[in-house]
């Protein structure tokens, strides 16, 4: 491997907005190298400021206030970031206009990898839980970034749950190691970028007028993902079919509770050009779901019921396929394992995402060449994406031949 040139950052004598915010804390909060220095990020209302500044600018500002900065091992930094949705996002049982997120960086010998934790409400995580978890990690003990299994096993063992927070570290580590190797991860895994699928574009539950507007915005996409699970399901499909004939897939988000009604709906949906149905029934309705899959004319895909690797085997025979999301399964390492296991069980695979920045979406896209379907539009649903990464060209997931996740910054002042 060629020698890695270390990056040297010139410090500005003028305090940054984040540093000035830190000055407002009490002496007890400013002293020490533990969680107190991390706490200033979330206790001074900096989420709004993070939405205005670039990720590189943010991480540079908190560099001196981070813990575990011995310079010998991995250096972890993180900051809250609120994702602003372009439209109100309505599912079967909830609506929201924002998604809490934490952006992180991992630095080793001057090279930096980036990750994030996106936390929609159903995950049960929050800014507070994510920053508490990340603040508890001692990654400076690792001075060999290529010991990825050991590093990620340690991260997974620190606390139960916290899957999105763990995914942020996993993504950043993969980005960092990819940069050290000078290769994107789809090449490291030996995947052909020409095999990537089209990505669906999500149409959330809304009024007919807004639904038609969303469909018009999705004109470049060759398949649409429609959120269902309310009394307006047929109206949603009919409204979309009044303005487009592109193939559809539907995500019910556990919204149907009667298996016969669900089967009747699936037969009707097939006539309307739907290609598969995602999580039609509650994840606890295992027997009913197995019956529905057996009788369904369309493939059924498990999402909420399939979180991590052991769930893949449980889903076999209950669903025809699974939806892998990095935020559910702790990141790229386990997602790759889930993909391999699902294929061995002759199951279909969809690679999905939450509402996320291009950082996590680009990470998930590294796996897309080996998936049947992709739902990688999370970055397209937000208005404040700080990164640029994987592209959608004529509806197709298009990978970038750049090391790690292939990220660049939208602000030219950033140096990633």
Predicted confidence (pLDDT) at residue 148 exceeds the cutoff of 90:
yes
What is the CB-side half-sphere exposure of residue 176 using CA atoms within 13 A? 28
**Interval 263-267 mean pLDDT:** 98
Predicted confidence (pLDDT) at residue 232 exceeds the cutoff of 70:
yes
Q: What is the mean pLDDT of the chain?
A: 84
| Calpha distance 136→372 (Å, rounded) | 38
Torsion of CA 91, 95, 98, 103, to 10 degrees: -40
**Interval 191-204 mean pLDDT:** 95
Does residue 337 contact residue 324 with C-beta atoms inside 8 Å?
A: no
Between the alpha carbon of residue 290 and those of residues 12, 142, 316, 339, 392, the distances in Å are 61, 45, 10, 21, 35
Predicted confidence (pLDDT) at residue 58 exceeds the cutoff of 90:
no
pLDDT-wise least confident of 32-36, 127-131, 286-290, 352-356: 32-36
| Calpha distance 104→320 (Å, rounded) | 35
Place of tokens 């097939």: 270
Query: How far is residue 8 CA from its own chain's centroid?
Result: 30
CATH class, range 24-182? alpha beta
**Interval 22-28 mean pLDDT:** 33
pLDDT-wise least confident of 61-75, 121-135, 145-159, 253-267: 61-75
| Calpha distance 334→349 (Å, rounded) | 14
Domain spanning 187-409: CATH 3.20.20.120: yes
What one-character DSSP code corresponds to residue 122? G
Q: Please report which confidence band the pLDDT of residue 263 belongs to, taking 50, 70 and 90 as the band edges.
A: very high
Largest CA distance in the chain: 68
pLDDT the model gives residue 271: 97
pLDDT tens, position by position, 100-115: 999 999 999 999 999 9
Between the alpha carbon of residue 389 and those of residues 191, 221, 361, 399, the distances in Å are 18, 18, 8, 8
| Calpha distance 243→390 (Å, rounded) | 28
Does residue 248 contact residue 276 with C-beta atoms inside 8 Å?
A: no
pLDDT-wise least confident of 122-126, 140-144, 184-188: 122-126
Alpha-helical regions (H) of 249-373: 259-271, 286-295, 309-315, 326-329, 332-344, 358-365
Predicted confidence (pLDDT) at residue 20 exceeds the cutoff of 60:
no
Report percent pLDDT > 90 for the chain.
Answer: 74
Going from N- to C-terminal start, the domains of the chain cover 24-182, 187-409
| Calpha distance 267→261 (Å, rounded) | 10
Predicted confidence (pLDDT) at residue 139 exceeds the cutoff of 50:
yes
pLDDT tens, position by position, 206-217: 999 999 999 999
pLDDT-wise least confident of 16-25, 54-63, 168-177, 186-195: 16-25
Does residue 315 contact residue 279 with C-beta atoms inside 8 Å?
A: no
Coil, helix or strand at residue 326: helix
Alpha-helical regions (H) of 53-146: 55-62, 127-136
Q: Please report which confidence band the pLDDT of residue 37 belongs to, taking 50, 70 and 90 as the band edges.
A: very low
What one-character DSSP code corresponds to residue 31? S
Does residue 239 contact residue 211 with C-beta atoms inside 8 Å?
A: yes
DSSP strands (E only) in 67-156 = 75-90, 95-108, 111-118
pLDDT the model gives residue 409: 77
| Calpha distance 144→265 (Å, rounded) | 53
| Calpha distance 98→82 (Å, rounded) | 7
């Amino acid at each position: 491997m060629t020698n890695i040139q270390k990056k040297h950052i010139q410090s500005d004598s003028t305090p940054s907005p984040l540093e000035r915010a830190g000055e407002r804390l009490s002496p007890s909060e400013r002293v020490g190298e533990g969680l107190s220095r991390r706490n200033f990020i979330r206790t001074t209302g900096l989420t709004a400021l993070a939405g205005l500044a670039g990720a590189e600018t943010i991480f540079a500002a908190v560099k001196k206030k981070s813990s575990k900065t011995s310079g010998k091992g991995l250096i972890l930094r993180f900051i809250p970031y609120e994702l602003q949705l372009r439209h109100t996002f309505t599912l079967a049982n909830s609506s929201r206009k924002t998604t809490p997120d934490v952006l992180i960086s991992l630095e080793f010998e001057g090279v930096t990898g980036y990750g994030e934790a996106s936390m929609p409400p159903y995950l049960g995580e929050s800014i507070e839980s994510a920053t508490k978890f990340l603040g508890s990690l001692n990654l400076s003990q690792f001075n060999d970034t290529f010991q990825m299994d050991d590093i990620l096993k340690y991260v997974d063992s620190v606390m139960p749950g916290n899957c999105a927070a763990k995914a942020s570290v996993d993504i950043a580590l993969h980005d960092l190691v990819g940069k050290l190797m000078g290769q994107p991860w789809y090449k490291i895994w030996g995947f052909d970028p020409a095999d990537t699928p089209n990505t669906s574009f999500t149409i959330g539950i809304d009024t007919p007028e807004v639904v038609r507007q969303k469909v018009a915005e999705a004109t470049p996409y060759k398949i649409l993902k429609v959120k269902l699970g309310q009394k307006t399901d047929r109206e949603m499909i009919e409204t979309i079919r009044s303005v487009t004939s592109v193939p559809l897939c539907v995500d019910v988000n556990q919204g149907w509770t009667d298996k016969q009604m669900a089967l009747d709906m699936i037969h009707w949906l097939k006539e309307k050009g739907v290609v598969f149905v995602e999580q039609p029934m509650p994840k606890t309705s295992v027997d009913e779901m197995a019956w529905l899959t057996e009788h369904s004319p369309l493939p059924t895909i498990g999402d909420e019921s399939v979180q991590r690797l052991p769930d893949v085997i449980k889903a076999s025979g209950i669903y025809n396929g699974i939806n892998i999301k990095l935020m559910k399964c702790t990141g790229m390492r386990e997602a790759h394992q889930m993909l391999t296991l699902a294929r061995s069980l002759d199951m279909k695979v969809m690679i999905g995402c939450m509402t996320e920045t291009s950082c996590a979406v680009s990470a998930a896209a590294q796996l897309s060449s080996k998936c049947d379907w992709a739902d990688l539009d999370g970055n397209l649903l937000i208005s404040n994406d700080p990164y640029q990464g994987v592209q959608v060209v004529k509806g197709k997931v298009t990978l970038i031949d750049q090391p790690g996740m292939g990220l660049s910054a939208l602000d030219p002042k950033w140096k990633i």
